[in-house]
Amino acid sequence: MQRILLFLITNIAIMLVLSITLRLLGVDSILADNGSDLDIQALVILSGVIGFGGSFISLLISKWMAKRMTGAVVIKQPTSSIEKWLVETVAKQAAIVGIKMPEVAIFPSPEMNAFATGASKNKALVAVSQGLLDNMAQGEIEAVLGHEMSHIANGDMVTLTLIQGVVNTFVVFLSRIVGHVVDRVILKNERGHGIGYFVTVMISQLVLSILASTIVMYFSRKREYIADTGGADLAGHQNMINALKRLAQREPEALPEQLAAFGIDKKSKPGFSQLWASHPPIEDRIAALEERARSRNK
């Protein structure tokens, strides 16, 4: 709750500063002189509602959507030794990181992957693929679970949702400002919103969304390094390193895009495309863990 309140206050403050800045730059005066009746304060509120609304709805239904999209089946009563071990391991890690026991599920995929989701750290879901259970040693699986539990304990689902809400708010706000400027100042439309406004808003929103996504992905990549260290702390550095090395040897499981940021891996390569990658290159993650392990052993 504190995290949500902080980001809401931050977002409101940023939008107020942006509103004041536009006034100081005379944008509202320019629009008014060209016949625009744009109410910047009302646009700020509308942008916040649209920007945060979709993000929060997605967060609230994230567990339900994850189960539907992946076919994940929650373990309510273990029916095998591996299911029993899985539930017990998650319970042990939950106690260590100080969160309530999340739901534990298995989704039917022959590839190796796992993900975490949920509206809060105490109402979360951890799911692993059948392929991960079939192809990894228990120590490696424990490290993967630790990685996902670290995502939950660190509140990464909420954090990234709120960051997405902030950038969505900016995108909605700025695209409509640009639309008004083009429609009234450049095209000199004097009545209502012309076609120039709607086309400009759509193009601006698309371009700004692509640019804004780099901000969200930057934070996502940073959280992956932190989750890796969490997995290493819970299961041992070598187990976490071995798990990542095993993942590096195969093609990634294509998790739905809504879950990809919280999967254990989504293949990415260094270079310009890394700006839009939710995960750092797996080689960089392994190198970071190896360096951390060496520093701890000194």
SS3 content of the chain, % helix, strand, coil (to 5): 70, 5, 25
Q: Is 251 a catalytic residue?
A: no
User: What is the separation of C-alpha 123 from the centre of its chain, rounded to a whole number of angstroms?
Assistant: 17
Active-site position among 103, 140, 142, 148: 148
Give per-residue burial for 101-127: e unless 16+ CB within 10 Å, then b: ebbbbbbebebbbbbbbbbbbeebbbb
**C-beta neighbour count of 98 within 10 angstroms:** 9
> What's the CA gap between 134 and 111, in Å, rounded?
9
**C-beta neighbour count of 297 within 10 angstroms:** 7
In the three-class reduction of DSSP (H, G, I as helix; E, B as strand; rest coil), residue 184 is classed as helix
Measured CA to CA in angstroms, residue 95 lies from 52, 92, 146 at distances of 32, 5, 12
Active site residues: 148
